[in-house]
């Protein structure tokens, strides 16, 4: 039996089941619960690798129990002013607030 308690999801998804459909993390390819709303979300391990454009590590979190997206630098704790923009493995990504709470990071899809 594969370990279905891991990886962790970084956002709350009602109805997500360990026995439900699966999708792969776009960065490491790990097996995680499928999300129709977020078809390319990064797993928790990859979210922890998120950096700014200069390679400084970022931590995204909800501003309050009511939600909202905020980020800070992991090294100094100072607020990150770049909005949801981040990079994982050199790929530009966008962090957003999860529909039901938590943080979702997905590769930014460029128009054209």
Residues that bind Zn ion (CB under 5 A): 25, 27-28, 43, 46
Q: Which is nearer to Zn ion, 46 or 50 (CB)?
A: 46
Min. distance of Cβ 26 from Zn ion in angstroms? 8
- C-alpha separations of 20 from 39, 95, 97 in Å: 14, 25, 23
Q: What is the dihedral of CA 87, 14, 34, 19, to 10 degrees?
A: 140
Q: Which is nearer to Zn ion, 6 or 17 (CB)?
A: 6
Min. distance of Cβ 51 from Zn ion in angstroms? 15
Q: Which is nearer to Zn ion, 6 or 63 (CB)?
A: 6
Min. distance of Cβ 6 from Zn ion in angstroms? 11
The Cβ-side half-sphere exposure at 109, using a 13 Å CA radius, reads 8
Q: Which is nearer to Zn ion, 31 or 52 (CB)?
A: 31
C-alpha span between 30 and 83 (Å, rounded): 27
Min. distance of Cβ 23 from Zn ion in angstroms? 11
* Eight-class DSSP state of 44: H
DSSP count for the chain of H helices, then E strands: 1, 7
């Amino acid at each position: 039996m594969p370990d279905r308690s891991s990886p962790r999801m970084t956002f709350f998804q009602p109805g997500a089941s360990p026995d439900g459909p699966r999708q792969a993390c776009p960065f490491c390819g790990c097996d995680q619960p499928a999300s129709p709303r977020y078809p390319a979300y990064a797993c928790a391990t990859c979210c922890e690798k998120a950096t700014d454009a200069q390679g400084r590590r970022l931590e995204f979190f909800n501003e309050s129990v009511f939600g909202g997206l905020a980020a800070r630098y992991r090294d100094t704790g100072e607020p990150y002013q770049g909005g949801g923009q981040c990079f994982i493995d050199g790929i530009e990504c966008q962090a957003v607030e999860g529909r039901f709470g938590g943080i979702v990071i997905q590769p930014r899809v460029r128009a054209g």
